[in-house]
Amino acid sequence: MIPVTCFPGQKIAVLGLGRSGLATARALKAGGAEPILWDDSAEAREKAQTEGFICQDLSRNGAMDGITALITSPGIPHLYPEPNRVIAAALALGIPVDNDIGLFFRSFATQDWEAYDTPPRVIAVTGSNGKSTTTALIHHILEAAGRPTQVAGNIGRGALDIDPGIDGEVIVLELSSYQTELARALTPDIAVFTNLSPDHLDRHHGMGGYFAAKRRLFAEGGPDRAVIGVDEVEGQFMANQLAEGAEDDRVIRISSGQKLEGFGWSVFARKGFLSEWRKGRQMASIDLRSVPGLPGAHNHQNACAAYAAVRSLGIGPKVIEAAFHSFAGLPHRSQLVGERGGVRFINDSKATNVDSAAKALQAFPRIRWIAGGLGKDGGIKGLVPHLGAVSKAYLIGHSARDFALELGSTPYEICNTMARAVAMAAAEAESGEVVLLAPAAASFDQYPNFERRGDDFCAQVQAVLAG
């Protein structure tokens, strides 16, 4: 735990008692504050109370009297589409609103660091797609290199739930736009921006607000090194703003598909090869085509981001290359579940929108595609240009029939359930094909989350393989 010591003896309100909320309450208490907690869920409040915390409805008149600050969980709206009523009350009263990420950056460094040979460092990763894989890959490379490291934030543990930093340690944080938008302190040593595509637009009031939330990590965070994906204009703009010129190697531009040779420092992947260039010279090259845990151009972009981040720490290309090959990938993100008769079964349940599904569909040459669920605005029309590798689609869930109308000439079967889709795809797949779950839809029609949907896919695949 990272004790939050900046509020000794003060009453601090904590709104939302999920993973980050309870970790925040514990950290505040350890630092000498008096946390006052609330969550609309009676079950969450009961759990907090069993730990000895005071729960009080913060929306009642006078509930905020004597409160010094309000710490809110990332999923609770604070501005758009409209502020939560408790946050609105804090704003009206002038009570500072923060989140656990802001508290982490205010609390992580301690006087103990003065005795360290190498102070702990923080790498923070944000972007629309690939954040989790990039974060996990950085963490994996650091472990392979023998560096002490912890991973937290939007993946794994809450940021305040990790252990205090030790000599030479590197903390890797995955940060969502919800987390970067509100944090009152953002001071990573290295910040990574993977890419940008439309998401959470109602929460950020459009693409401009969404990009602005991501940009805060760099513009207000002031990292020593910025790793910026420049495959979209927003990334190009941000890299341009942060760098003093093309030769400024404090900004490392990364790309999957573009050749980036005219910059002080760049890392890019083309035709399956990662290249590092510095000041007009190629420094290293890695063949990514045979790396099983990083299939497809989108994962090659993740590899470039992770490579650039750890190279900033002085880790050598050979160590990074070896770590790439031992990286197993994350569950539900291009996860190899099994193989039979030359047919691979890939779980990409995290592909909940058109953009992420398009990247999955471009990663394999011959696909039996399982898609569907609770469709999002716009359906899957945007995937039509990426269906050339799809032998047949197997559609499930609430939007199965809507998706079928948008597939054009692509053969399809309306299966409704995961069990039927997996069984049919496995029976019809030929050697060299991939049975790919990339739903392009939310899971909430049939499952509580994308993880449970992916788990069901894995269970059905294992049943097929055992049959």
**Which residue in the block uniquely carries the two structure tokens 């788990």?**
455
Q: What are the domain boundaries of the chain? A: 11-98, 109-326, 335-466
Residues pairing with 367 in the sheet: 390, 434
For residues 160 and 317, what is the distance between their CA atoms, to the nearest angstrom? 32
Q: For residues 173 and 123, what is the distance between their CA atoms, to the nearest angstrom?
A: 6
CB neighbourhood size of 281 (10 A): 8
User: What gap in Å lies between CA 212 and CA 313, rounded to an integer?
Assistant: 27
Residue numbers belonging to the annotated binding site: 127-133
Q: Which CATH superfamily is domain 335-466 in?
A: Mur ligase, C-terminal domain (3.90.190.20)
Residue 159: DSSP 8-state: G
Whose tokens are 């999002």? That residue is 376
Residue 293, SS3? coil
Query: For the chain, what's the residue count?
Result: 467
The pLDDT assigned to 192 comes to 98
Of the candidates 211, 234, 117, 119, which has an alpha carbon nearest to the alpha carbon of residue 169?
119
Q: What pLDDT does 377 receive?
A: 84
**What secondary structure does DSSP assign to 342-393, as a single string?**
TEEEEE-TT--SHHHHHHHHTS-SSEEEEEESBPPTTTTGGGGGG-TTEEEE
Distance CA(241)–CA(128), nearest Å, equals 20
pLDDT at residue 197, as a whole number: 87
| Rounded Cα gap, residues 201 and 246, in angstroms | 32
From first to last of its 467 residues, what are the pLDDT tens digits of the chain? 999 999 999 999 999 998 899 999 999 999 999 999 999 999 999 999 999 999 999 999 999 999 999 999 998 999 999 999 999 999 999 999 999 999 999 999 999 999 999 999 999 999 998 999 999 999 999 999 999 999 999 888 999 999 999 999 999 999 999 999 999 999 999 999 999 988 788 899 999 999 999 999 999 889 999 999 999 999 999 999 999 999 999 999 999 999 998 999 999 999 999 999 999 999 999 999 989 889 889 999 999 999 999 999 999 999 999 999 999 888 898 899 999 999 999 999 999 989 889 989 999 999 999 999 999 888 999 999 999 999 999 999 999 999 999 999 999 999 999 999 999 999 999 999 999 999 999 999 999 999 999 999 999 999 999 98
Look at residue 156 in the predicted model and tell me its pLDDT.
Answer: 81
Q: Which residues line the annotated binding site for ATP?
A: 127-133
Can you read off the two tokens belonging to residue 33? 């504050």
> Residue 108 has which token pair?
């992580």
The CATH superfamily assigned to 11-98 is: NAD(P)-binding Rossmann-like Domain (3.40.50.720)
57 in helix, strand or coil?
coil
Looking at domain 109-326, its CATH architecture is: 3-Layer(aba) Sandwich (3.40)
